[in-house]
A = this chain, B = another copy of it.
Amino acid sequence: MGLFTKDIRNMDDLFIHQLKDVYYAEKRIVGTLPKMIDKTASPELKQDFETHLDQTKNHVKRVEQVFELHGVAAGTVMCPAIDGIIKEAEEIAGDVDNKNVLDAALIAAAQAVEHYEITRYGTLIAWAKELGADDCVDLLDQNLEEEKEADEKLTNLAEGSVNRAAA
């Protein structure tokens, strides 16, 4: 978006901008999760990531439905936030040798991704309600709930086995 123009004039523009941001983020995550799956040692963690990859592909489709319901073409904007979160995940993964410690680091990285999505969907839902776009709320809420569940599953896996194996 514009360095020299003020492209966002109202809440609807802001909502669409944020939707494009999350659309970009979900697509980047679809591209990144397979690399994380490859690096994972714990079979449960691998399974968790694989399940979440399927969910994420579905999130992309739901966001596309929201664009359609809202009457705008699906599109992306640059999202330095998710780029930075993923860059940090890749850097830390490259820095760890021990497989069990790497699993702990990968969980932390994935949870940073989940939390980014949780905050963005939370915001989108609040804005959609304010705009009276109730048809969009339900789809966004399904994505939000799955992100929260994914985050919780990772916490349980970290605290239940992965961190212990690493320590």
Contact = CB atoms under 8 A, between A and B. Distances in A.
Interface of A: 1-3, 5-11, 13-14, 17-18, 21, 79-85, 87-88, 91-92, 94-98, 101, 104-105, 107-108, 111-112, 114-116, 118-120, 122-123, 126-127, 130-131, 151, 155, 158-159, 163-164, 166-167
Nearest to A4: B94
A122 B130 contact: no
Closest 8 CB pairs of A and B: A84-B84, A6-B97, A115-B119, A80-B84, A80-B87, A115-B115, A130-B167, A108-B123
Given A80-B84, A81-B85, A122-B155, A10 B98 contact: yes
